[in-house]
Amino acid sequence: MDQFPQLQNYATSMPRQVTKRRPSLGTLRKTFEAKAVQAEREAISNSSNLPEPDIENEAPAPKDEAPPRFGWIEGVMIRCMLNIWGVILFLRLTWITSQAGIVLTCLIILMSVVVTVVTALSISAIATNGSVASGGTYFLVSRTMGPEIGGPIGVVFSFANALASVLNIVGFAEVISQLLQEFNVVMVDPTNDVRIVGVITVTAILLIILAGMTWVMKMVFFLALMIAFSSYIVGTIISPSIEKQSIGIFGYRGDIFVQNLTPDWRGDQGNFFQMFALFFPSVTCITAGANISGDLKDPASAIPKGTLLAILWTTLTYLVIAITSGACVVRDASGNITDFMTGNITDGCVGLACNMGWNFTSCSQSRTCNYGLANNVQVISQLSGVYYLITVGVFAASLSSALGFFVSAPKMFQCLCSDKIYPYIIFFAKGYGKNDEPFRSYALCYIISVGFILIAQLDVIALLISNFFLCVYGLINFSCFHASMINSPGWRPAFRFYSKWTSLFGAVVCLVLMFLFTWWSALITVIIIIFLYGYVVYTKPKVNWGSSIQAESYNMALSYSVSLTSVEDHVKNFRPQCLVMTGPPKRRPALVDFVSSFTKHVSLMVSKENINQLRDATHVNWLNKRKVRSFYTPFTASSLREGTKQLLQATGLGKLKPNTLVLGFKSNWKESTLESIDDYINTIFDTFDSKFCFRSSQSVWMCARLDQRAVYQGCECKHTAHRGCPLLVFVADDVSDEDDSDPIRTVFQNSQGKKTIDVYWIADDGGLTLLIPYLFTRRRRWRKCKVRVFIMGQEETVKESPNSPFISFCFSLICSLNRFEESVIPFRLFDDQQDGASIQELRKNAPWKISDKEFEAFKQKSENKVRLNEIIRKNSQHSALVLVSLPVPQRDCPSALYMAWLDTLTYGLHCPVALIRGNQQNVLTLYCQ
């Protein structure tokens, strides 16, 4: 019975979800009686496997407690705000304002916000396109763009998050070091004090995470930040004391605001893009909510709502602090109360502070001032109502950001490792506890953090982080643009407030800013991304996420296939596109390797198998493992002839249709039934009638004299090729069909050295017999082989063209038909030994048999085949490959006689032999047009 639609049947991307299977079409089509029998059997089976219940001792099963999940406020918005409010806000924003001025600082903030808003819109679109599991940004991008882009993003973004944690820890340690200096306490020296405090801090953060107190600490930090901001706003309104005026704080004044509007570049870092690069890490934490997407109640709704609101509130905070600090504090101040001027004496005083009764001329001109916007990073603390509340705020901002990054980096890295894209890091995929905590990744993040804390330079670390985050944000925006451009039916985000063009704009801006910030760091980042991308492309991990890159491959293939239909055929562009009748490909590796040798990277190859039940997965895997570029298609047909006829008409798409049919030589034809021989030969006849090229290759390695391993290392079967579709091979029935765990090597996979490829071009078929050996010589294993071409011609013709590119060979022919006549005896009628009535009856029942009249009529051709075989055996016994023109039979030629001709042509050779025939149309030309 049909089931009603059930949501869980469509949640295949959600982890740990048990999907109830739908009934198959075969089940639905069963009769009522069959369904009743099946249900009865299942009931009996289930009842026999179930133990009898022990009602007396039965206890209720314990329920596993579900891990805690967060909403959009506490899970996304507060996390993003805590991560965005980092050390740059408290320790560098006022200094950037002094350098760039209020206008350019606001421009830097707004430009940064443009990048983050566009990226947030892209993240929101990707996050609402389906269910989001753990892994955060890596999960979103990898499931959208595939492992090729997702893998590099996962590595780089995990590393960037670890560095962002280091940035905030170093900022925290820097504040602690300054506090110690204020109290005249120094452990070693200021730089080493930062390193010591940083290592202690990162160790404490790791212990907090392992103890599971992360969320409690974040709420404490959030409250501390709110108190610190309130203290700052109050401090800007309160009239400054004489001590604050000595350090350059004068409250809101229009003249200070006007002077600080314009930039005042100082030092080596005094330029716009250096300030931009220094500030940008403070807005790069918009993925804090997406990074813990697996811990959210409703990631699709929480991520866009919480992220955008967090950007709004933090942007307002940055703008307010930049404007208020620029309106209250002068750039240079000495901090000495003695610089206060009494009376109206302003002689020799230079600077805006003179108007307020302070003379900072001496230190400002000598650039030795220790206070003011341009000289002191503690301006926010000094400007606030209570100094140490800002210090607490700095602690809260730096530690909350460090804690957030330290949590997200290992979780993202764990998801990357569990996907097994990069095999050498799978060790870190293991999780522990009900929340699958990545303790191993925590340990790795701790080691990385300690290593970079030893740098102890906040500005250097900030420049490194900016490029990594810009690279990741650029790829996120490009992922959204790419998915939108492909128009895949699977791209249907619930978040509609985005545009593919804004995503493209964001990607371009991120790339440009990377090189404008620090070109050498951007170059290193790009090289790392390219290396990681190339590794994934080369290894081809076994993952299938329905990415937009897969959708693009389909779009491109479809577009090129359609455009190819308008391209006119030309003899110079002819390619043998082969339909190979392989049967199960792994049973005939020599035939598969034979065709792959001249079609790989050149033309089309399609393998076909006539089966009763469709099962193609194992064969496709075998072809891929053998690195054979071939399509594989199973089909059903009553006979070889009928199946081939259907395939020749239906296989292919547009110009990508087979033009060459490849068949395996029927090496067991003498033991086969006459009907099967007739079916096989008529397949060849039908191909000639349909004007396909025909190629038949035979490898007579004297199989009866070799063990099975030697046969496979040589060539175990005869091949026949057609100009048409994929491969279908029919060979002797004694070939093994065992598992391919030990891949079999054939002669076509071995280097041929300086052997020869002999071509017996007996018939002018359009040049296909010459084209195939040339294609062989383009392969590395056959490159050193010399092609020898044998043709038949009259003596005077040879004399007239002594410079012909072909080698003319004079043959002495020895006529020996005994073996040939013995081979066809079982297939002859022997008319002279039968009466008239029996002859007519035999002809009617076995039309493929050879009458005496037919045997005599084709006797000359039979002798020619025997003589040609003797010539081939004499000249090509040790060749790497022999190609012979396939004779075209007349319509009245018996199939058994024609089969004997093919067997005679290839008899006694110890190398692969291919019988080839074109369709009398040129596939080669001597001219350029």
Q: Quick one: pLDDT at residue 38? A: 62
Report, in angstroms and rounded to the nearest whole number, the Rg of the chain calculated over CA atoms. 41
Spatial separation of the C-alpha atoms in residues 903 and 718, rounded to whole Å: 10
Distance set, CA 609 to CA 576, 580, 634 (Å): 20, 9, 5
Q: SS3 for 865?
A: helix
The verdict on pTM exceeding 0.85 is no
The two three-digit tokens of residue 132, written as one number: 């989001």
What DSSP element (H or E) covers 864?
A: helix 859-875
CB proximity list for 232: less than 8 A, separation 6 or greater: 321, 380, 383, 384, 385, 390, 393
Domain ranges of the chain: 90-331+381-473, 334-370, 571-755
* Cβ atoms 605, 629 nearer than 8 A: yes
CA distance 711 to 700: 10
Sign of the dihedral defined by the CA atoms of residues 8, 14, 18, 22, in that order:
positive
Per CATH, the homologous superfamily of domain 90-331+381-473 is Amino acid/polyamine transporter I (1.20.1740.10)
Beta strands 605-610 and 786-791 are unpaired
Spell out the residues 6+ positions from residue 445 whose beta carbon is closer than 8 angstroms to its own: 162, 165, 406, 409, 410, 413
Whole-number pLDDT of residue 103:
92
Six token digits for residue 776: 């062989």
For residue 480, which of 149, 722, 817 has the smallest C-alpha distance? 149
Q: Which residues contact 125 (CB under 8 A, 6 or more apart)?
A: 480, 484, 493, 495, 498, 503
Q: What is the predicted pLDDT for the residue at 781?
A: 87
Strand spans (E) along 751-864: 756-761, 786-791, 807-808
Is there a contact between 561 and 645 (Cβ–Cβ < 8 Å)? no
Question: Shortest CA distance to 607 belongs to which of 625, 586, 581?
Answer: 581
Q: Record the tokens describing residue 744, joined without a space.
A: 């079999």
Block means of pLDDT (10 residues each) for the chain, 929 residues, are 64 48 67 62 54 46 56 82 82 88 92 91 82 72 83 88 87 84 80 88 86 67 85 87 85 88 83 86 78 70 85 91 90 82 67 80 81 85 85 83 83 87 87 82 90 84 83 89 83 82 92 87 89 88 79 83 83 84 81 84 72 62 80 80 82 82 82 82 81 45 27 36 30 37 72 89 85 88 90 54 42 53 74 58 66 80 85 86 86 82 84 85 73
Cβ atoms of residues 374 and 95 within 8 Å: yes
Residue 107: the pLDDT is: 93
DSSP letter string, 240-251: PPHHHHHTTB--
Amino acid, single-letter form, for residue 326:
G
- Whole-number Å distance between alpha carbons of 492 and 473: 21
Are the CB atoms for 906 and 915 separated by under 8 Å? yes
CA neighbours closer than 13 Å in the CB half-sphere of residue 388:
3
Residue identified by tokens 């990741």 is 472
Q: What phi, psi does 84 have (nearest 5°)?
A: -70, -40
Cβ 256 vs Cβ 102: under 8 Å = no
User: What is the spatial distance between Cα 131 and Cα 115, in angstroms, rounded to a whole number?
Assistant: 25
User: What are the Cα distances from residue 273, in Å, to 109, 270, 523?
Assistant: 12, 9, 17
Spatial CA neighbour of 735 closest among 592, 526, 918: 592
Give dist(CA 142, CA 468) in Å, integer.
Answer: 17
- In sequence order, the 6+-apart residues with CB closer than 8 A to the CB of 680 are 640, 641, 663, 666, 669, 730, 895, 899
- Return the pLDDT at 179: 82
Q: Are 87 and 284 in contact (CB under 8 A)?
A: no
CA distances from 561 to 157, 557, 653 (A): 38, 6, 8
- In 3D space, the residue among 612, 556, 551 whose CA is nearest the CA of residue 584 turns out to be 612
Most distant pair of Cα atoms in the chain: their distance: 149
